[in-house]
Amino acid sequence: METKLNFKPKALNGKNIKIIISLLVVFVGLLAFGILRDTDDLITHKQANSLYSQDKIQKVIVDGEYIRLRTADNNYKIYKDAINKTAFFTKYPVEVTEDSSYLYDILSLLIILGAFGLLYRFIKQSKLQQLRQIRSVNRADNADSSDPVQALSSNVTFADVAGIKDVKEELEEIIDFLREPQKYRDLDIRLPKGVLLVGPPGVGKTLISKAVAGEADVPFFYQSGASFVHIYVGMGAKRVNELFKKAKQMAPSIIFIDEIDAVGKSRGEFRNDEREATLNQLLTEMDGFEDSSGVIVIGATNKIDMLDEALLRAGRFDRRIHISLPDLEDRAKTLELYLAHKPNQVDIAQVARMTVGFNSAALDTLTNEAAIFAMREGRTIVETSDFDAVKEKVLSGKRKILSFTEQEREIQAIYQGAKAVIATWLDVEFEKIGIVNTQLIAQEHEILSRSKLLNKIKVYLAGSLATKIHYNEQFSNASADIMLAKELVRKVIYEYAMSENFIVTPLQEEDLLRESVSEVNALLKTLEKALSEVSNYLLSYENITHDECKEILREIF
């Protein structure tokens, strides 16, 4: 268990109360001593002569550097060199006392030292009590840490996870391996040690990992990346070691590390010795896996760019599964799942169409809020209108671009449709282009041709040019693609040195962009009918693949 130093204030015991009372008494004593030490009024030579003339003095006291004058009404003092001592000593009785100022100073010093001694004793006792508390917490933690890692049994299956058809297919062979590992060992087949689920928050990464464990019927070890980050050096590494040791003992099993970027951040200039020690231990444990150990590590992150390269190399998290926001079909299946046990008369297709950009978690919340709204209205059946009523509430905090109006859907369909048409015509490969996102296939070639790079620039420019032609207006949804186009132009000119001259100027960037814009405008006029067909397809289905777009172009031309 994680050690937490979270102390609550304890009730004051008898010793503490005595010390506090003693300090208060000393303080009051010092205050009284300061006030009562010398109350005689200091007077001038003229005032002393007045008392002498009026014969009010009863006694004269010689006290160190002062002459003290006692009268029936008051007591006075004056510096001994400020009066005629012979006259005063002759007329009035004189008393000589020892100089008490030194005694007063010594007494004050002793009282102050005593007060500091009591304060020091009080602080020392407080620290001793705190130390006892720390030892007590550590003993309790050590007592509880005999088995800090607990395996969970998952009742979740793929039947509980709607949509994500592609993700399920990717994970099927891992599930089969966990069910029947011997079949793979006999054929000397090695499966990936680690699977990295990459996607935005709320798309169901944790639920998917639980479904894998549930389908395979194997122990499931859940840990968050943050749980490995300790304030004590070495504790995170120890926890990683215990986790993998227990998982191997109970193999076949699944280790799921949520938000793995918390512990797997790239090691750079901002060092954190504890986090680096933990990451090194994680890397060591994954290297120590036997190919047939029966333990699969599943990590989840929405910040893959922050992960350390060593964690992503072959032999560790060598399979990556990207989970995107659900499309129209996925949203319909997800809503159908969430409404399965709720009495309803909901047009699922209509709700799916109006929830562009919602992730699975948001759809779950939306369905629950719609049911609550129906109950408040006194109805026992959820209706489509209930989703309309609570949609804005669920959208609070979401980016507006993810909640398109019907007009915005049409603009976005033309925008994304133009990118799909130009990409297909210029043979720029893509997996899927939808109203919400674009999934161009990343090229892994070491050598890139200038024409391929220019074609990609034209794809990025196509959407903004198409909407400008169609509406005679420019829109803000083009900003990200225009930035990508400019960045690629900069690389072509400066980084790849693909300009006509070796000495380059900013003017060449502008010329290349202007040339690309001209060619895309010409293509859009030629492919106007195809763009119309693809835009309508996107309005109906929200996504289009490269093959589907190619088929539309083939039918037209």
> Contact, 252 vs 212, CB < 8 A?
no
What confidence tens digit (pLDDT) does each residue in 67-84 have? 888 887 888 888 777 777
Integer CA distances (angstroms), 485 to 444, 509, 517, in order = 19, 11, 11
Put simply, whether the predicted model's pTM sits higher than 0.85 gets the answer no
| pLDDT band, residue 462 (cuts 50/70/90) | very high
CATH of 1-146, one of 3.30.720.210, 3.40.50.2300, 3.30.1330.10, 3.40.50.300: 3.30.720.210
Kindly list the domain boundaries of the chain, sorted by start residue.
1-146, 158-322, 328-402, 406-556
- Tell me whether the CATH fold assigned to 158-322 matches the one assigned to 328-402: no
- In this prediction, residue 525 carries a pLDDT of 93
Q: How many CB atoms lie within 10 A of CB 9?
A: 5
Instruction: Average the pLDDT over 318-325 and give the result.
Output: 81
pLDDT digits (tens, 9 = 90+) for 21-38: 666 666 666 566 555 556
Q: pLDDT of 328-368, one tens digit each? A: 888 888 888 888 889 999 998 888 888 877 888 888 888 99
CA 132 vs CA 16, 18, 69, 137: distances in Å: 16, 21, 61, 9
Phi, psi of 75 (to 5 degrees): -120, 135
- Residues 6 or more apart whose CB falls under 8 angstroms from that of 38 comprise 77
- Rounded Cα gap, residues 491 and 504, in angstroms: 12
Say what the pLDDT of residue 105 is: 62
Judged by average pLDDT, the poorest of 42-51, 143-152, 334-343, 364-373 is 143-152
The CATH T-level fold of domain 328-402 is Helicase, Ruva Protein; domain 3 (1.10.8)
pLDDT attached to residue 401: 39
The CATH label, of 1.10.3720.10, 1.20.58.760, 3.40.50.1860, 1.10.10.10, for the domain at 406-556 is: 1.20.58.760
pLDDT of residue 512: 92
| H/E segment holding residue 414 | helix 406-425
Residue 2's CB is within 10 A of a number of other CB atoms, namely 15
Q: Which CATH class is domain 158-322?
A: alpha beta
pLDDT tens, position by position, 243-253: 888 888 887 88
Mean pLDDT score of the chain, rounded to an integer? 78
Q: pLDDT grade, residue 288 (50/70/90)?
A: low
What is the mean pLDDT of the segment spanning 146-160? 70
Q: Read out DSSP for 145-167? A: TTS----B-----GGGS-S-HHH
